Amino acid sequence: MKILISFITCLILTANISAQEFKVVFLIDKPYDKTSLNTMLESMNGLSLIGEDFVQFKMISNSENEVKLPHDNGDSGKKLKKSNVIGMAGVRCNPCKRLMDERKAKGATYVLTSDNDFGTCKLGVDDYEALSSSDDLMEIIKKERKKAKKVDGDYKVVFWIPSNQTVSVELLSDIETNKKVDFGTLVTFTASTNSKENIPVIMKVNDELVDACKDNGVAKINRNIPLNISHEITELTNVTLEGKGCGELKKITIDVSGKCDEIEKVIHEVTYNSKSKGPLGVKKTAQLEGISFSLLQLIDNKYYIVVINKQCGVREYRADFVERTTGRRFSFTLRKSQEQANVHLTASDRDNYSVFTLNHDDLKSKGFFEDVKDPSNSELTLEPAYNMTIVPVEAVKSSLELRGNESEPHLVRFQKCN
C-alpha cells in the first residue's frame, strides 16, 4: 500500500511539474523591423532567444488583423534560427491595456522606462523591475526560471519596451455637441490621428459601419488624411470611433430639438437687414418702367444672399426665376452657407432663419444678366427683372410633402459686379 501511495504521489508531482509553462514575452510597442529587433536583442545578449519555443515576440503591425511575421537571427546555415513575430493589429494608442493583459498570469514584468511617454502605466514599485538597454536578458531569464520553480502554475516573464511616440485617435464634429440641433441638420464628423503612418480605425453611426469601413471593416487614416463623414441628424445619433487594437472608444452624441411631421411654407426675407452689410435687398422703383422691385445686393463681388425661414426636413432648395417681360426661365440650386449665416444673421435670428447663396459667376455664365428688349419699343433694351420663387425640392424623408410650400414670388433685380 505504501509503495502504491508513493507511486501515485510521484505521478501527481510529475504532472504538476510538467503542467507548468514557463513563458517569456517581449511586448514591443514599435513597428516590426528585422534589423532593429536583432540589434536590440544582440545589445542585451538575447539574440540566442530567437527560435526558442518558450519565447514570444509581439510588435506593432499596420495589418487589419493580428498576423505572424517571419523572423530570423540573420545568420545562415546551421547558425540560422527562425521564429515568428506576432504583429499586433492596431496602433500604440493603448499600450497600458496590452501590458495589463499580458500580466494576468503569475510572473515578473520588466519595463524599459527610458525614452517613452507612458511611464510605467501606474504600476506599483513592487509590480515591475526597471530594464535598461545594457541589461543581460539571459541572466534575467535564468534568475526568473529559479523563481518559477517555487511557484504553482504557469509563469510568465514580460519584457515591455514602450514606444517613444504617443499615438492618439480623435473624433470631432463641426457643431457643438452639448446642444440639440434642428431636424435634418447636416453634421460633419472627423476621425483624425497624429500618426504619420496609416492606422486602421472603426467608425460607426448608431452601431452601423460608415461607408468607408464597410468593405474591410476598417478605414485607414494618418495625420495628413483624416476620415470625414456627413450625416443628417433626424434622431438621437451616436457616432463612435475606435482605433483597431485599442480599447478606448471615442463617442459623440447629438440629439434633435423636435420631431418633423410637416414642412412649412417657405418665407423669403428679400430685404433682410444683415448685421454687417445692412439690407440685403432694397425696395426701388424703375423710373423708365414704373415698376416696383427689390434690388438684391452683391456681397464681396461674389454672392447674392438668400434668407429664408428655417425649416425641418428639407434637404435642398432651388431658386426659380421668370423674367417679367420675356417669360424666359432660369433655375439655380441654392447653396446653404453656415459661414454666411454667421456673417449676416443676428444672434437672435440664428434659430429661426437659414442662409443660402447664389454665385454671381454662375448666373452670368447662363446669360442671366443680359438685357431684354422693351416690349413697347423694340429699339430699347431693359435691365431684366425676375419673379423669384424659392422652392423646396428634396425632403429628408419621403412622408414630408413638398408641393405647395414654395415661397411667394418677389420681383427682383440684381446689383451687378463692378
C-alpha cell at 192: 483624425
Q: Which residue has the higher pLDDT, 82 or 99?
A: 82
Domain residue ranges of the chain, discontinuous segments joined by +: 20-161, 169-254, 273-414
pLDDT band at 18 (very low <50, low <70, confident <90, very high): very low
pLDDT at 118 over 70: no
pLDDT at 164 over 70: no
**Span 61-79, pLDDT tens digits:** 867 678 999 999 999 888 9
Give me the DSSP letters along 352-402: TEEEEEEEHHHHHHTTTT--EEETTEEEEEE---EEEEEEEEEESSTTS--
DSSP code for 32: -
Mean pLDDT over each residue of the chain, to the nearest integer: 87
**Span 213-230, pLDDT tens digits:** 999 888 999 889 999 999
Other beta carbons within 10 Å of 306: 27
User: Where does 169-254 sit in CATH, by number?
Assistant: 2.60.40.2950
Share of residues in the chain with pLDDT > 70 (%): 90
- Residue-level pLDDT at 294: 96
Backbone angles phi, psi at 197, to 5 degrees: -95, 155
C-alpha cell at 370: 443680359
**Span 276-332, pLDDT tens digits:** 999 999 999 988 788 999 999 999 999 999 999 988 888 899 999 999 999 999 999
Instruction: Please report, as a single letter, which amino acid is at residue 209.
Output: L
Share of residues in the chain with pLDDT > 90 (%): 56
Predicted TM-score (pTM) of the model is: 0.57
